[in-house]
Structure 1
Amino acid sequence: MRIFIYSRKSVYTGKGESVENQVEMCKSYISDKLLKDSKAEINIYEDEGFSAKNTNRPQFQQMLRDIKQMKPQYIVCYRLDRISRNVSDFSSLIEELNHHNISFVCIREEFDTSKPMGKAMMYIASVFAQLERETIAERVRDNMLLLARTGRWLGGTTPMGYTSEKIQEVVIDGKLKIACKLKDNPDELKVVDCIHEKFLELRSVSGVSKYLIKQGIKTRNGNMFSLPGIKEILQNPVYCIADEDAWEYFTRHQSDVCFEKSDCSYKYALLAYNKRDYRKKSAPRQDMDKWIVAMGKHKGRISGKRWVELQDILRDNIPTGKKPALMHNGYSMLSGMIYCDKCNNRMFAKQRSGKSGSLFYDYICNSKLRGGLELCNCQNINGQQADEMIYESLIQYMNENAGILPLLEKLKREFQRQVSKNFSAILEDKIKKSTGEIDNLIHTLSHEELGAAFIRRVNERIRDLDVEITSLKEEKDLLKENKGDKEKRELKINQFSMALWNLKESSSILSMEDKRTLVKLLVKKIVWDGKKLHVYMNS
């Protein structure tokens, strides 16, 4: 006989129902109830630090793989919710076990799926396990929002300029309870003040980025400030003084402001909560009418009037979609296709100052565009000359390469393969996995007695996953937008097949978009080393 034991606990701790204790109790049950005088080979699977929200757990997945290979007679666990608190996941597992004639035993509830009543009761218990998980999550969320109204810091990664400091407060029932507030970090606050001042002066996030790079100003981790990172600092109310201008701004946007106008004070700053909806996948940012805005216990850095001015500038700078992106303009052929040999970044077309509407433009690497010579001192390329040289080289390549027809057929087959490949499904799978991990981490935060360091790491991971999900969704949306153009693009390739035989004469009838597509079909990569363009053809 072969028996599997599975144990799980959400939080790393040696207290209570640890994975070790669960395993020992399962062994005792097996020897007393299942084996008695016989013997069995026992395999043990332990997942510690994983939620039961879903089945994305390494040892659980290993157990499922071993089920198909080893075919045990029993799977034993200490309690039903050790397996799953999700009814759908649990039902799928039971069906899988029934298919392999494997009995499932929970020693705490004394359920055994080898018996009809045990199977029925197991399903009922799984419904209540999921209800318990959802109730706990809702209760934790409500408690966090209630605490938010007090203006205390609720944990996680502190914003630039502050650290977390523990304080003691007396609650209504007279008990002392540890809470946290934000404490000034003078060196970092100087950087925050600089970002605010420079943005009001330059009115550009990228302009602030270039200034910080030139001055060698970096984040607390020693990295260059990213554009989203700078924007987050500019948008964060944590630096805004809790004065009347700030109160009127958030009241006008229907935020839940937790203090009266008469309580406004220049002594303290704001804290905003509930900015994201963690009950939904990818935790999207919520509108300001869902925010809870409280008066914190830390000092502010910028008046409400100037902070509101910052928000108005940021709003006015939001792209309207009328201005073409650097890679998609109507005058350059190679924007985004050339790579800088020094920094390995793409090079984009930029019209020369004072030449708006003309054909005078250069290709500049993205590092230089962002941070100037401090990031990359590679020489710019005259855009018009570069386009003409590349096009002439393609004509010469076509004239000298007698085997161009097989190449065209190969390119057409490659295009067909890319069209048929389901990139959207791959991206969706990645989004689901990242979202599932966020759900697990959020559920982990519902447990008591979590250390500050652990909470900080969890919040950092949630933030990283959120950025990753946003990027994946943008890529998926881009694929969706391009889906309707597949037939047109395929038709163009056939047209290119004809145009390529007389490429020089075709130049006048091909649009700039057609020429870009043509370059992508024939050219693998273009590299600029500061003096020469190196063209690598598809072979």
Structure 2
Amino acid sequence: MKTSKRTEPAKVVRCAIYTRKSTEEGLEQEFNSLDAQRDSAEAYVASQKHEGWEVITQTYDDGGFTGGNMERPALKRLLTDIEAGRIDCVIVYKVDRLSRSLLDFTRIIETFDSHQVSFVSVTQQFNTSTSMGRLVLNVLLSFAQFEREMISERIRDKVAASRRRGKWSGGMPLLGYTVEHKKLIVDEIEATRVRQIFELYLEYQSLLPTIREINRRGWTTKRWITKKGDHRGGREFTRNALYKLLTNVTYIGKIKYKDEVHEGEHVGFVPVELFNRVQNRLTNNGKAGGTTVRNKHNALLKGLLQCKACGRPMTHSYSSKGNKRYRYYVCGTAMQKGWSECPSPSVPAGEIERFVVEQIRTIGSDPVMLAHTAAEVQSRSQIAKELLRDERKALDRQIRNDHSKLQAIAANTHIAGNISGLSEIQQRIQTADQRLKAIADEESALATQEIDQSDIQRVLADFDEVWDALPPREQVRVVSLLVDTVNFDGAGGNVAITFHPTGLKSLLQQPLETAQ
């Protein structure tokens, strides 16, 4: 009697389907790209049912994630389940759905191999369990990576072309502007604040004191809400944040791409003259501090002296001959392009420093110079008043807008639960109210502490009496406190001094003291 041979049932192969789409566009549709990829993979598994293939219930869908890296939640879950021994085969619609990076793909395949998991691409008909399948796979993936790099190059070229045409090409929102239809539109409230930050830096002449004043006023970096509804920005200024703001050419109507600067389509709201003065001060001070930080030779005019012909700062330097040292100031243009490019490339340091000190000494006794200096100081005081007035108007507008937002939230009960947004608006109103009180105090102080010709004469009289007894470092401090800029016209032999009104007031309230 013959016995029939029993066929053993095929071993169950647990198949995981992985799908991916680079953007979120279209994912809200009832049947989207991820669904189409899954349908194709399920059909392939059904064709292998006789081999025991079955789709597991767990889904691995990455919608809105690039294939250029492995920072994808579904991919991480897939690898975790493979390491736990829950999967025998991974199926994708195309190879580049799993990865577009040859290096990342190699790492993923190594994980598959170490856990005896095979890999199948539905549309490219191969299996990594064979050497031919592995060869074809690597070739296809190389082309996928090549395509990704080509896309990146095209995007970079597009950004470069856009910047060269003066267009805003995206990035983090900028304080002072809103973005409408991919164009920068001036936000008048924030623009007023940005201009005042530039003025504050010129007043304090250093980053850290400026930051302290900005934070005291309750001003923060740009606030914005992402497309996902996340709140970003709105933080206190740091040294780096302030430096980036002060050096951003966008504020003078230009667009920067790498080292290139082009005219922008948007409107600049910081005066070019103000922007250039800030850049000169930053150049002399360095990113980290003020003029006294690196002034080891006690150069009186370091960070103050400007070449009138070039509009560039003049740098303190020296040369030695034997035991004797010769100090001088050299124009930035001459240093970078050669001395033939500037009509006044350098000037002896001791000579021009003595000249400036003598000019300061004689102002108090020369009626014409005294009147001119007083008029200049009063003009700058008027500018300070106007800045405070503009800031007050901007804060009033901001408070009105914030109150309107609060009313809108109260009127719409379905968004009234947004406690974080509500508290943020209330905090902003409170900060603005505090700043308005401070502005009122500052306006009152400006009105009661105006300096006139007699005050200037008294300050400079004290200067004349005690100057020679001051130690060198104190002399540097006093000059930097008194003087905003010194313009040197080498061709005409003229020197023009611009004073700090706040410095004169400080010396009036705190008389100079000699070293004991």
- The TM-score, its normalising length taken from structure 2, stands at 0.48
- The TM-score, its normalising length taken from structure 1, stands at 0.46
Structure ID, larger Rg:
2
Q: Using CA pairs below 8 Å that are at least 6 residues apart, which structure has the higher relative contact order?
A: 1
